[in-house]
Amino acid sequence: QKEVEQDPGPLSVPEGAIVSLNCTYSNSAFQYFMWYRQYSRKGPELLMYTYSSGNKEDGRFTAQVDKSSKYISLFIRDSQPSDSATYLCAMTGSARQLTFGSGTQLTVLP
Amino acid sequence: EAGVTQFPSHSVIEKGQTVTLRCDPISGHDNLYWYRRVMGKEIKFLLHFVKESKQDESGMPNNRFLAERTGGTYSTLKVQPAELEDSGVYFCASSLGLRTDTQYFGPGTRLTVL
């Protein structure tokens, strides 16, 4: 069983839609939770970083963590075609190494 | 400020050959990580340097892989001899090393072993 499960999609939405991306995890040692965005042929780029249960908002992006359910989410409001990318959840504990989900491919249609 | 750079961007080699990948971290970042993504799988950790020392190499798949970070600056990852299953994208990341710090990723090296 994978430590981090993420629906690979692909997910296709119209411009302006609210997008919900999710990951579940099994390792209770994970303390820090991240969402990365990866464009084709590029490296992952950090979008959001959280380390406590609850919501964190940054512009159109909201990261949500529920440690009791071992579940994290990323919401994108007013989605734009430029948001089309692969979104990766990642997490880590006391060790520095990141454990990634498999990524969800998102396409926002104009 | 320059980001993490990796060279080459793409390498095609034959099974049994040797390939060396290079990573230049962001200046001042003591922590350097190697990850790789093989086809259809998630990005997986390979190893972690703090300055020139290997902090954690638990993700290295076998002894055909050798990583070095001479002088605590750039790092190389050598695969010798390469096998078909080594094909994938190799990412390097660097960070300052704070408790809640960010790992900045390079664009990756796409390795194809024929």
Hey, CA dihedral for A49, A52, A55, A57, is it positive or negative?
Answer: negative
Q: What is the pLDDT along chain B (114 residues), one digit of tens a residue?
A: 689 999 999 999 999 999 999 999 999 999 999 999 998 899 999 999 999 999 999 999 999 999 999 888 999 999 999 999 999 999 999 998 776 678 999 999 999 999
Question: Which residue in A49, A82, A77 sits closest to A63, CA to CA?
Answer: A49
Q: Nearest by CB to A97, which of B56, B105, B107?
A: B56
Q: Nearest by CB to A96, which of B48, B91, B106?
A: B48
Burial class (CB in 10 A: 0-12, 13-18, 19+), A102: buried
Residues in chain A within 8 Å Cβ distance of B91 = 43-44
Which letter does DSSP use for residue B101 in this model? P
Distance from the B73 Cα atom to the nearest Cα atom in chain A, whole angstroms:
19
Alpha-carbon span A93 to A31, nearest angstrom: 5
Which letter does DSSP use for residue A29 in this model? T
